[in-house]
Amino acid sequence: MKGKRDRFSSLGYVLAAAGSAVGLGNIWKFPTLAGQNGGGVFLIFYLIFVLVLGIPLLLGEATIGRYAQVGPTDAYKNIAVECGQSKAKTKFWTFLGFLGAFANLLILCYYSVIAGWILQYCIKVFFVPIESMDMDLFGKSISSYFTPIGCALVFIIATVAIDVKGISSGLEKAAKFLMPLLVVLLIVCAVCSLSLKGSSEGVKYLLIPNMENVSNAGGLGHVALAALGQCFFSLSLGTGQMITFGSYLKKDSNLLTETYGIPIIDTGVALLAGFVTLPAVFAVSAVTMIDPTSQTGPGMLMYALPQSLSAAFGSTMGTVLAFIMFLLVVFAALTSTTAMLTVTTSYVNEFKKCDRTKSMIGIGVVVAIGAVICSLSNGDILGGITFGGMNIQDTLDWIVSNLIMPFGAFFMCIFIGYVWKTENAVKEITNDGKIKFSWAKAFKWTMLIIDPLIILFVFLSGIGIINI
């Protein structure tokens, strides 16, 4: 199962893997969902799910990858064969690896569009007074034709250009530079938001549980399900990303310490993003007299960030800082899309035996076509095509978040627990007993029973069989 592969350094692995998790899911989606789902209670559920679900699943995927030293498709197949699985069953595990690659391809299509929106705002801040930026401007920006498509295509080209350089020279090098810079700027923006008059109400909303907010958001079950979905999306669970990243680790690396850093950085960035946006929304609402909970839609980042920076630093300096922050959010998105492209390329490169560079360029073309379709679905041209009330872009998001991710994570647990066996996984995690794994028994139970049941619940809720 050994192959000649490019390698991550220990720090590079943590930053690159955290970078794959840290992106629009944290900076754009987390504050949005927290604002729409009761704030404090949503946050409590989210933290619980990161501990119970996120860490064990991240560790499980990384363990499969490091042991097999290949991407998800071959990793599942090779281990299944080694465990004496029949040909029919081996085909299923091969399909599971393919499904992860396909999920990453779908995410790339609509994720690039959203990243393109933020890239638009990098330019827009110099032509529109930032204190006048509002939700209406955001709606007009994403529903136009040429600019959103152009920005999405620029973003896709940048993703391919980074990944073509390889793991250590491309993905790792970009993550080592961009991740620390992003955190510093988020802290600056959070300080700005928290300094605004009325921002304390946003902090209370985010941190203090309030059942009235939960009731207004649709109830406790709805909020819990939203938090669980965000945990899946933010950490990219069930898509094979960590299997791919793990396959680029050295065999003597410490999987435990390196895996712990990923959810810590991911959750920390999500909280920072919450402190940037929600306090600003509440502070501005104190002036506009608009209900702040009505302003917590997808465009909140484009509304709250420039407003808070303008109020704290004035129009000129606020514009410069807003530009830098939006640019860094684009870079954060790049750390995620380069990881997604790596997973999909790994499938084409290893399973289909296709040249890596050609694979990436070909996948980039497919993603570009998908991004154009997704972008046009936000306007008049394709906006009339809906599935269950959702446009094409939202439908792809729903398919990945509610179907593919839970499916992939569920069977990853089944694979470790009942095919490979948790004893073998623990042996790999501890480097044959050389590393202490204090919660090894808990890991076994999460793989065998706890996490599969939670994931099954998410899946059944996502497809409407269970209503809460």
- pLDDT tens for the chain, residues 1 to 468: 444 555 555 565 666 666 666 677 777 788 888 888 888 899 999 999 999 998 999 999 999 999 998 888 889 999 999 998 888 888 999 899 889 889 999 999 998 998 899 888 888 888 888 877 777 788 888 888 888 999 999 999 988 888 777 655 555 566 666 777 778 878 888 888 888 888 888 899 899 988 887 887 777 777 887 888 888 878 878 888 888 888 888 888 888 888 888 888 888 888 988 888 888 778 777 655 556 665 556 667 777 778 777 777 788 888 888 888 788 788 778 878 887 888 888 778 776 677 778 888 889 999 999 999 999 998 888 988 988 889 999 999 888 887 888 889 999 999 999 999 999 999 999 998 899 999 999 999 999 999 999 888 777 776 667 665
Q: How far apart are CA 387 and CA 394, in angstroms?
A: 9
Q: How far apart are CA 87 and CA 251, in angstroms?
A: 28
* Per-residue tokens: 52: 């119970």
Q: Are 327 and 155 in contact (CB under 8 A)?
A: no
Looking at the DSSP bridge assignments, the partners of residue 137 are: none
CB atoms within 10 A of CB 395: 18
pTM attached to this predicted model: 0.83
SS3 content of the chain, % helix, strand, coil (to 5): 80, 0, 20
Kindly report the CA angle at 182 between 177 and 187, in degrees rounded to 5? 140
Q: How far apart are CA 251 and CA 303, in angstroms?
A: 46
Looking at the DSSP bridge assignments, the partners of residue 387 are: 390
Q: Are 234 and 415 in contact (CB under 8 A)?
A: no
* Per-residue tokens: 375: 């972008």
CA atoms 451, 452, 454, 455: torsion sign: positive
CB atoms within 10 A of CB 78: 18
